[in-house]
Amino acid sequence: MFIDEFFDSAFYKELPLEERNQLKFGRVCWTHAYYPHENLQFFRPVIESTEKTSTIASKFQIEAAGADAFRRTLPLGAPRLETNEEFLVVRAKIRPTIVVQPELPISSTVNRGYPGRVHRTRCTVAQVFGLADTATHRAEFSPVFVERVRRMEYPQLMFLPKRAGLFEVDSLLRLDELQSVFVPHLEPTKFALANEVEDILIEQVQFLFTRKGPNSYTELRQLILGI
C-alpha cells in the first residue's frame, strides 16, 4: 500500500469561491522559489576610479565571497545596501508550494516608539518538485526512490499524486525546503490538501521537528511500511 492509494481520489479538495482568498495550512500556491546556494557569490558594484566615494551604482559584477564578505567599506544609497549587507547571487524558479505556516499578524502598537517592524507580512511554504519532466514526462527520479517516498519512509518528504488542473506529474513535497515568502508574492490556486491529508501533514511536520509520537502520521506510516 502507498499513501496515494490509501487516500485514493480524496487527496486534494477544490475550494469554494468564498474560501479562495484565504491562506491556510495546506493551501497550494505558486510563487518564485529560490535555490539555496552552495557557493556564496555576491553582486558587487563596479566603482570607476572617479567614483570612489559614490554611493550610487548602476553596474555590478559577480564576485566570490572573500575575506571582506559582509564587511564592505562604503554603503550604497541606490540601490540601498549597508556595509554589513550583500546582494546574493541566487537562482529562482516559479513553482508550486504548500502553505505550512500562514501569516500571523502582530499589531504595530506593541512596539510603539521603537524602530523595529514586528510584523513582516510573511508566511512559510514548502516547495513542490515534479518527479518527472512536465513537458516530456521523463522520470527524473528512480522508481525505487519514488516507491519509498510513497511508502512514507522519509519524514521530510510527502508524495503528491498528479491531479488535472493542479500537478501535471506526480510530485514531491519537501519539508526540508521550507521558505519564508512575502504574502503578496503568493498566487493561490483553487486547491488545497484534503482535510484528512492535511491532518496527516500537520502531524508529519510536528514529528519531523520534534520526533514525538505516536500520532496519526506515525500510525499511518507504520501501517504503510508494515512495521
Please tell me the predicted confidence (pLDDT) of residue 30.
Answer: 98
Count of domains forming the chain: 2
221 found inside a domain: yes
> Do 154 and 219 belong to one domain?
yes
> Do 148 and 204 belong to one domain?
yes
> Do 98 and 58 belong to one domain?
no
> Do 127 and 200 belong to one domain?
yes
C-alpha to C-alpha distance for 175 and 202, rounded to whole angstroms = 11
pLDDT in tens, 155-191: 999 999 999 999 999 999 999 999 999 999 999 999 9
Contact (Cβ atoms closer than 8 angstroms) between residue 92 and residue 34: yes
Q: Three-state SS for 200?
A: helix
205 found inside a domain: yes
CATH number at residue 18: 2.30.30.110
pLDDT in tens, 190-218: 999 999 999 999 999 999 999 998 999 99
Residues 6 or more apart from 19 whose CB is under 8 A from it?
A: none
pTM, two decimals, is: 0.90
> Do 143 and 180 belong to one domain?
yes
112 found inside a domain: no
| Residue range(s) defining the domain that contains residue 78 | 41-88
Does residue 52 register a pLDDT over 60? no
> Do 9 and 77 belong to one domain?
no
